[in-house]
Structure 1
Amino acid sequence: MSQAVKRGLKLILGADALVESTWRTTRRVVRVSLNVIGFSVSSVCVANTFFNVVGYPASISGGSMRPCLNHTSHYPTLDWLRLNLDWVFVNVWSARHWNQFERGDIVVFLSPKDPNDFVIKRLIAFEGDVILRPEGELEVPKGHIWVEGDNSRNSIDSKHYGPVPLGLVFAKATHVIWPPQNWKKIQPSLENHVDKDIREIDSGHCMIISHL
């Protein structure tokens, strides 16, 4: 024990035995505190790595993905925990390579309008695909995708801000994990987004007949 610290404690406490006891107690408290801090920091680092590399659960706000997500409200008395909403697993690992994506997947990306806002929509078309809309044809440019909400009348998506850069897409929603009665794996689907069959035009590119 440091002699300076010992002298200071002795002046305050006035007894050698009490000084030794206080010092031992202080060392134990400091040791335990450092262990707790170290464990907490390690846990945060592990959790942060898992979230950034593998994925994490997330609640879905709004009605743009109805009827697939948030079709009905659940447990309204637990809205302060956001348990009145659907929760999905945001699979970051699945977004490592674009060959793992399919038309009809539900993707998560940074909003082209607000980089602080995360958006969830359905992937409708890849680069090179042609979107046929009432105002004419639009070819999805290289390095972009076309996304739309399932509830087209209540969705701000590519119909409003155009194709989304691939660099903004960081995950896809792979499972519904809340509420329990809706647990399921989310399957790729374009059922609510095409008026006719998708027609291949060349080299794997497709013409998509998009809703209004």
Structure 2
Amino acid sequence: MQRLVSKFVDAAIVFVQYGCLAHCTLEYVADLVVCSGPSMEPTLYSNNVLLAEHISPQFDKISRGDIIIAKCPSNPNQYICKRVVGLPGDKIRTGFTSRNVPRGHVWLEGDNKSNSSDSRTYGPVPKGLIRSRAIFKIWPLTDATYLKD
């Protein structure tokens, strides 16, 4: 009986260790993201699966043209997938007006400009809302590609 309990405890320890490793990897290194909605068409379609890394936003290495995953400024329970169009200090022209992107913010737009709720709607987005940067489209496999402008 003691041997059975010992094996159970050993298995539980291994399970907890792998769980901690998986949690740290998904929270701080990279994870998989499923896209929904038409705002990034034709680059990304609904149900595309992306590999997104969390390191670039932590070290402020977001560049113009990157596709990022961020908390929605108008609905914090939702995440958005948009392209970075403007960085701090950039002047963005929207229609007949132009706006400056303030320090600590980015300007995000969907690739499908006619069907996207983005910075043109809610303005510059604080960098603190950025969760990750998409690096690969991995599903569907026939469309697997590196995501760089």
TM-score category of the 2 structures, normalised to the smaller one: over 0.9
Counterpart selection for 1:158 from 119, 126, 145 = 119
1:148-189 per-position Cα deviation (integer Å, ceiling 9, x unaligned): 11112221111111100011112110111111111111112x
User: What is the SS of the residue equivalent to 1:103?
Assistant: coil
Say how many residue pairs are matched.
149
TM-score, normalised by the number of residues in structure 2: 0.93
User: What is the SS of the residue equivalent to 1:63?
Assistant: coil
Equivalent residue for 2:148?
187
**How far apart, CA to CA, are the structure 2 residues paired with 1:56 and 1:104?**
20
Equivalent residue for 1:31?
6
Structure richer in helix, relative to its length:
1
1:5-48 per-position Cα deviation (integer Å, ceiling 9, x unaligned): xxxxxxxxxxxxxxxxxxxx2x2232222122211111111011
Q: Which runs of 5+ in 2 are unaligned?
A: none
State the AA in 2 paired with 1:40: F
**Which structure has the larger Rg?**
1
RMSD after superposition: 1.4
1:110, distance to aligned residue in structure 2 (A) = 1.2
**How far apart, CA to CA, are the structure 2 residues paired with 1:156 and 1:181?**
28
1:91, distance to aligned residue in structure 2 (A) = 0.9
Equivalent residue for 2:70?
109
Equivalent residue for 1:67?
42
User: What is the SS of the residue equivalent to 1:65?
Assistant: coil
State the AA in 2 paired with 1:33: F
Structure richer in strand, relative to its length:
2
User: What is the SS of the residue equivalent to 1:142?
Assistant: coil
**How far apart, CA to CA, are the structure 1 residues paired with 2:122 and 2:93?**
16
**How far apart, CA to CA, are the structure 2 residues paired with 1:114 and 1:132?**
25
Runs (4+) of structure 1 moved beyond 3 Å? none
1:116-159 per-position Cα deviation (integer Å, ceiling 9, x unaligned): 22211000001111111224111111111100111122211111
User: What is the SS of the residue equivalent to 2:3?
Assistant: helix
